[in-house]
Structure 1
Amino acid sequence: MTAPFAFDLLATDGRARRGTITTPHGVVRTPAFMPVGTQGTVKAMFMDDVRATGADVVLGNTYHLMLRPTAERVAKLGGLHRFANWPHTILTDSGGFQVMSLAQIRKLTEQGVTFQSHIDGSKHEMSPERSIEIQGLLGSDIQMQLDECLRLPASRAEIDRAMRLSLRWAARSRQKFEAMGGPGLGQGLYGIVQGGDDADLRATSARELSAMPFEGYSVGGLAVGEPQAVMLAMLDIVCPLLPEAKPRYLMGVGTPDDIVESVARGIDQFDCVMPTRAGRHGLAYTRFGKINLKNARHADDPRPLDESSDCPALRDYSRAYLHHLVRTGEALGAMLLTWANVAYYQSLMLGIRDAIEARRYADFVAETKAGWARGDLAPIG
């Protein structure tokens, strides 16, 4: 039997937490940002470079991988770790968000969702049990229950209905996870708190999920268009209701500012396509804030994005060259800026962890935000 999934809380500073998650494929240092590897790849990056930035875990997408190359094919080829050449921890989402947002035609029932692929129109079914089966075939270390994620704004009646359906699906997901032997394999299954922007429904969801034996708990249905203040208010309600001894994951978040504010409220894990997507569109995230390499003012700038960085993409290429790559549509531009962004996000997480350990998290946040606000617009030369 593999050693059980474990979360160890190592330090706190206010509600900010530093810890480790132990899985069959390694230790994840928390708070952690998980680069999104939707289809078994972090777009425009080699997996070795992803690891070199400091990432302990990447995310894979159940919906996309079930459609192609199919979970069954990945399983025959040795599982997602071997398939993607990532021998470290992998978290897979349930596929529910993509079913709701990408499928051409879908029908939701108590049993699950039937939908047509956005790729070729083929018909598929996704139930709580099927989602867990797919994630088991992929061999992910951390798996997610199937839930219904509503886009906000929505009526209270709709939010309540979706939240209670997600609770019922949570129980079914757990039953299937245990039947497939997930706990014995050292894997973890997370429940997902829903409830939209309604404080009472969020609290109900958090309390009822906490009574179920999940290895971790996620907060879903945020970062879907609501203001940051609403997201943070929901975290203020939810986090104190979740088990102290289990990891907490805020799904689909987000900007560096979202991350530092959410850590302050007790969140341990994050994922978002933002750093990779922004990199493919000419935008760099740095300790000086965002730098848009499309702007003409970078055309003659010989400075790198950050000369003090350990990452070659941030340190070794001039802004003028990056601007040239972006303006000419060269693939290397997307590669370098994606690498730079993932590296910055990981350096931010390292700074967060160190600050919590030193019990100076509030000072770290203030210093970090001051750096973003100050920017790096010094004259050239």
Structure 2
Amino acid sequence: MKRPNPEPCRENDIGKFEIVSRDGAARIGRFYTNHGVVNTPTLLPVINPNIRTIEPRKMWDEFGVECLITNSYIIRNSEELSKKAIDAGVHELLNFPGAIMTDSGTFQSYVYGDIEVEPEEIIEFQKRIGVDIATMLDVFGKPNLDFDQSKKIVEETVSRSEISIKSAEGMLLNGPIQGGLFPELRALSAEQMSSFDFSIHPIGGIVPLMEKQKYPELIKIISSCRHLIPSSRPVHLFGCGHPHLFAISVAMGIDLFDSAAYALFARDDRLIMPWGTEKLENISEWPTASKTFFEYSPEEVKSLPKAERTKILAEFNLEISMKEMARVREAVRNGKIWEYVERKSTEHPSLEIATKILLDCSEDFEFMNWVEESTKIQKSRGILWSKNINKHPYVKAARNMLSNNFEFPKKDVFGNFVEKNKWDIILIHGVQGPWRMKCKDLINKLINKFKNLQILVQTPIGIIPYFLEDLNPFSHINGPSDIWNFNEEDLKFRYNNLAKVHGDSKPNKVVDELIQNGFVQSDLELSDDEIETYFDKYSIISKTALFTQLNFEVAENWLYDSTYLKGGTNRIRNVFDSSGEHILSPRLEDGGISLTVKGAKKLFDYSKDNKCQIPIIKVDEGAVPFVSKGRNVMHGFINSVTGTLRPGMPCLVIDDNDELIAHGVCCCTNSEAIELKKGIAVKIKSGMK
């Protein structure tokens, strides 16, 4: 079936990159070119103009390929190809309507020896044949080079950048990152190459590592430089195209991949599978479903003539590669990229080691900090437990947010003032939530019997206060029952007395044990409604402090006398302050909060006195009329950011006069807010004019 040709992008959008969905550093994006939008992450099949194992037009029509990469070195060195490319353009030469990237011949220099060509010459040739994305002539950095040799390569590549960009005259240009196996050189290369006006940054010199399956070294290279590259530029893992590397690379912020493996493996009768590579001769039944092999058995494929067999195997390899990239994109959209990375890690010992190094962040703490800071903490669905879940960036970010922003109340349920760290603690464990339903009778009994008491809950990823018992991700983990048992490593706070209580325990038996252990008894008796009101108060107070970075004591003073509207399940729907104004609403799906205009205005007032650190974005005056009426804040119209933006968290929007004009939810980090020039930066909930 013929697919329509792409429409050229608007001239002002050419070279821009837009993030449309994300899971931490993993991003679903759009890159704008003269031959349509390239949706990322994606695989760019490598096309040899002389050996078209699969026709490029077929790649566009049947495989959904939006961008491919071909070799300007081969085209330039062939009189026939060169003439046709110059006369008709590279798109006509290859019969491909989408975007075309060319490499510069650097890899051929590595394979065949030095190529005698100046940087300006190779740029000029790529410009003449009409490529969408050209590549400057860098110097290939082999992994076996020593530090001084690798440093010279970095310096030489940097020295060629200015003349290459000048020669490109506005053509989109790749600026490769080199540096061998040396993290400091990769970082230096990333910082210096980022200072030039490149459109994409390939990470080069990695093919020899992948050929020998040295995945830990590959991961270290990415982690040493990825976070130093501007967020407005896609990052290309040059020469990486095997499906089992897609997930971990995308999780680390890689947007583009390329490979000729689909064709090269086919010539050797090898099949690319999501989990590795299989030899055709060893296959009796197809281990995975495919459109390509729908009408063929393995024996029938084996019996085909060599040329026909190579073609069908290449089509299968490309189909599987594109399908795996689709799975990775879905994992990003669903907020499950790290779960997918962990599953994929079992497919190869070297990949498992690489994943462990990454999750342990033993090699590059700065990089994983960058990943955590770009991570949306709360998920909108349940989470499957895994042995490494506590190392996943969103879990670490959630634990850090809670430990850095949570405080115990000043008063217990009876109104008694309790000094910091003088609480008696009941730790409920062994039971999965919702605890408000499963443990309500037990908790109410304990609260009524003892003074100075706080209830905490053990979850598989840390301890949380009972009044945050619906907080995602802590409360929404699915797994075996023993993951809810007590974990002593989570007790990292000071307390007076502590008792561990299984959630299924008999209330009277627990009371007797606590009396024997010195817990202070109460002479008062409260109704279930009074106890529920106490937990409701501190649920709202704690969530407001947690998600808006409002000083906890200020939150207590503001919200202690709030009233609530509840739904049919007795969950709070709306919160009203002491004057009766609707200020916020808890979100039932993830335990977060949504502000109203009144609530946002109050937080803005608190921010003026440094009592609230909610992030504030100042927009360009041209955007004010739209944002103040409820339109989203778009990248390219942001003047400055105060505070720390995190995707999924609330923020405020002001104009040049520091007047509040809207509030909404962040879609970006601080650096992205300034660097990106297209896409949504803040999803506005309400405008204020």
Do both share a fold (TM > 0.5)? yes
Post-superposition shift, 1:340?
A: 0.3
The answer as to 2:236 corresponding to 1:249 is yes
Distance 1:224 1:14, change over 3 A: same
Corresponding residue of 1:145: 136
The answer as to 2:179 corresponding to 1:203 is no
Corresponding residue of 1:33: 43
CA distance in 2, matches of 1:45, 1:274: 12
Corresponding residue of 2:108: 98
CA distance in 2, matches of 1:264, 1:337: 29
The superposition leaves residues 52-96 of structure 1 with CA deviations (integer Å, 9 ceiling, x where unpaired) of 112111111011111114665134431010111101110001112
Give the secondary structure class of the aligned counterpart of 1:77.
Answer: helix
Post-superposition shift, 1:40?
A: 6.3
CA distance in 1, matches of 2:316, 2:79: 29
Distance 1:305 1:316, change over 3 A: farther
The answer as to 2:205 corresponding to 1:221 is yes
Give the secondary structure class of the aligned counterpart of 2:137.
Answer: coil
Task: Give the TM-score of the pair, scaled to structure 1.
Answer: 0.82
Contact 2:81 2:93 (C-alpha < 8 Å) held by counterparts: no
The answer as to 2:175 corresponding to 1:191 is yes
Corresponding residue of 2:69: 59
CA distance in 2, matches of 1:292, 1:72: 37
Contact 1:45 1:335 (C-alpha < 8 Å) held by counterparts: yes
Give the secondary structure class of the aligned counterpart of 1:224.
Answer: helix
Contact 2:244 2:344 (C-alpha < 8 Å) held by counterparts: no
The answer as to 2:344 corresponding to 1:344 is no
Instruction: Give percent identity, aligned residues only.
Output: 26
CA distance in 1, matches of 2:68, 2:344: 25
Q: Which deviates more, 222-231 or 209-218?
A: 222-231
- Which of residues 303, 322, 329 is equivalent to 1:324? 303
Report the residue type matching 2:181 in the other structure: D
Post-superposition shift, 1:334?
A: 0.3
Give the secondary structure class of the aligned counterpart of 1:266.
Answer: coil
Give the secondary structure class of the aligned counterpart of 1:154.
Answer: coil
Post-superposition shift, 1:8?
A: 0.7
Post-superposition shift, 1:145?
A: 1.2
Query: Per chain length, whose mean CA-contact separation is higher, i.e. which structure has more relative contact order (CA < 8 Å, sep 6+)?
Result: 1
Give the secondary structure class of the aligned counterpart of 2:263.
Answer: helix
The answer as to 2:30 corresponding to 1:20 is yes
CA distance in 2, matches of 1:80, 1:15: 34
Please report the RMSD computed on the Cα atoms of aligned residues, expressed in angstroms.
2.1
- Which of residues 49, 53, 65 is equivalent to 1:44? 53
CA distance in 2, matches of 1:368, 1:321: 31
Contact 2:270 2:279 (C-alpha < 8 Å) held by counterparts: yes
Corresponding residue of 2:17: 7
Corresponding residue of 1:334: 310
Distance 1:369 1:205, change over 3 A: closer
Give the secondary structure class of the aligned counterpart of 1:294.
Answer: helix
- Which of residues 252, 258, 272 is equivalent to 1:271? 258
Post-superposition shift, 1:29?
A: 1.1
Where do 5+ consecutive residues of structure 2 fail to align?
1-9, 350-689
Report the residue type matching 2:108 in the other structure: Q
Report the residue type matching 1:323 in the other structure: K
Contact 2:143 2:180 (C-alpha < 8 Å) held by counterparts: yes
Contact 1:147 1:166 (C-alpha < 8 Å) held by counterparts: yes
Larger Rg: 2
Distance 1:344 1:372, change over 3 A: farther
Post-superposition shift, 1:203?
A: 0.7
Contact 2:274 2:321 (C-alpha < 8 Å) held by counterparts: no
Post-superposition shift, 1:216?
A: 1.5
Contact 2:244 2:274 (C-alpha < 8 Å) held by counterparts: no
Post-superposition shift, 1:147?
A: 0.5
Post-superposition shift, 1:371?
A: 7.7
Contact 1:256 1:345 (C-alpha < 8 Å) held by counterparts: yes
The answer as to 2:165 corresponding to 1:174 is yes
Corresponding residue of 2:567: none
The superposition leaves residues 87-122 of structure 1 with CA deviations (integer Å, 9 ceiling, x where unpaired) of 11100011122123224xx3xxxxxx52xxxxxxxx
CA distance in 2, matches of 1:233, 1:366: 17
The answer as to 2:288 corresponding to 1:306 is yes
Corresponding residue of 2:272: 285
The superposition leaves residues 217-265 of structure 1 with CA deviations (integer Å, 9 ceiling, x where unpaired) of 1111112236211111010111100001111111011322222221111
Give the secondary structure class of the aligned counterpart of 2:28.
Answer: strand
CA distance in 1, matches of 2:222, 2:173: 21
CA distance in 2, matches of 1:55, 1:231: 26
Distance 1:267 1:246, change over 3 A: same
CA distance in 2, matches of 1:340, 1:13: 29
The answer as to 2:155 corresponding to 1:164 is yes
- Which of residues 89, 97, 112 is equivalent to 1:87? 97
Post-superposition shift, 1:316?
A: 2.4
CA distance in 2, matches of 1:334, 1:366: 33
Give the secondary structure class of the aligned counterpart of 1:189.
Answer: strand
Report the residue type matching 1:271 in the other structure: D
Give the secondary structure class of the aligned counterpart of 1:98.
Answer: helix
Report the residue type matching 2:228 in the other structure: L
Report the residue type matching 2:298 in the other structure: R
Contact 1:63 1:99 (C-alpha < 8 Å) held by counterparts: no
CA distance in 1, matches of 2:327, 2:50: 28
Give the secondary structure class of the aligned counterpart of 2:311.
Answer: helix
Distance 1:206 1:231, change over 3 A: same
Distance 1:159 1:11, change over 3 A: same
CA distance in 2, matches of 1:101, 1:288: 28
CA distance in 1, matches of 2:58, 2:82: 28
CA distance in 1, matches of 2:328, 2:238: 18
Contact 2:49 2:94 (C-alpha < 8 Å) held by counterparts: no
Where do 5+ consecutive residues of structure 1 fail to align?
107-112, 115-125, 374-381
Distance 1:11 1:40, change over 3 A: farther
Contact 1:150 1:162 (C-alpha < 8 Å) held by counterparts: yes
